[in-house]
Amino acid sequence: MNFLRGPARLILKSLGWKLLDLPQRPAKAVVIAYPHTSNWDFPLTLLALAALPYGAQWVAKDTLFRGACGPLMRGLGGVAVNRRERTGFVERIADEFRTRETFHLIIATEGTRSLQAGWKSGFYRIALAARVPVVMATVDYGKREVGLLASITLSGDEVVDMAAITACYEGRRGYHHHNASPIRLL
């Protein structure tokens, strides 16, 4: 995918977007994406993944993987999750982290593009179970920045960890900023 790096960077630059990256990426991480308020987040994220290049996979609702779209979504790095029932997803993904040398999984913490009371806790539980850091990523329409912001290792103290995550996302703005959910675990 390195051949896509130049074209993806050129497209982002021509659209007025600045690409953000970490000085050093951890070998494994749960990557959280916030805010997620628009369908436009997806193509911008794919451009950023190609521009970095960053071989991360991403989680989406299983209904997006049905029919003819399924192979395309999986080919783009998608991992389907059934949000309607408990399926052991957290433990399965934690096992994936334990068996791979490198693995990055992007999760939209809100679980949807509409306003919610807070964030789904799956990313937090996966990172703790797998003992991997959390990388904060954003598509910030206010600053026109896309990419990776910071990496933290969770302490297991939810209040402390969420305060650090909140500080990282301070001032970040989604496309439909009124739909950005408050940064707190449900």
Domains in the chain, ordered, with CATH? 2-179 (3.40.50)
Two tokens, residue 123: 């990313």
Residues 31-87 pLDDT 10s: 999 999 999 999 999 999 999 989 899 888 888 889 888 888 888 888 878 767 777
Q: How many CB atoms lie within 10 A of CB 102?
A: 12
Two tokens, residue 116: 């919610």
Cα gap 26→102, rounded to integer Å: 9
Cα gap 48→167, rounded to integer Å: 23
Residues 145-165 pLDDT 10s: 999 999 999 999 999 999 999
Residue type, 58: W
CA-to-CA dists, residue 83 to 20, 87, 89, angstroms: 30, 9, 10
Two tokens, residue 52: 């970095």
112-150 burial, b if ≥16 CB within 10 A, otherwise e?
Answer: ebeebeebbebbbbbbbbbebbbbbbbbbbeeebbbbbb
CA-to-CA dists, residue 146 to 27, 48, 58, 94, 99, angstroms: 20, 7, 16, 27, 30
Going through 37-121 in order, the beta strands assigned E by DSSP cover 57-61, 78-81, 103-108
Q: pTM of the entire structure?
A: 0.90
Ramachandran class of 185: left when φ > 0, alpha when ψ lies in -120 to 50, beta otherwise:
beta
The residues, any chain, with a CB within 8 Å of residue 100's CB and separated by 6 or more, are 28
3-state helix, strand, coil in the chain (%, to 5): 40, 20, 40
With cut-offs at 50, 70 and 90, classify the pLDDT of residue 129.
very high
Computed over every residue of the chain, the mean pLDDT equals: 93
9 pLDDT exceeds 90? yes
Residues 119-128 pLDDT 10s: 999 999 999 9
Quick one: CA torsion of 177, 114, 21, 164, rounded to 10 degrees? 80
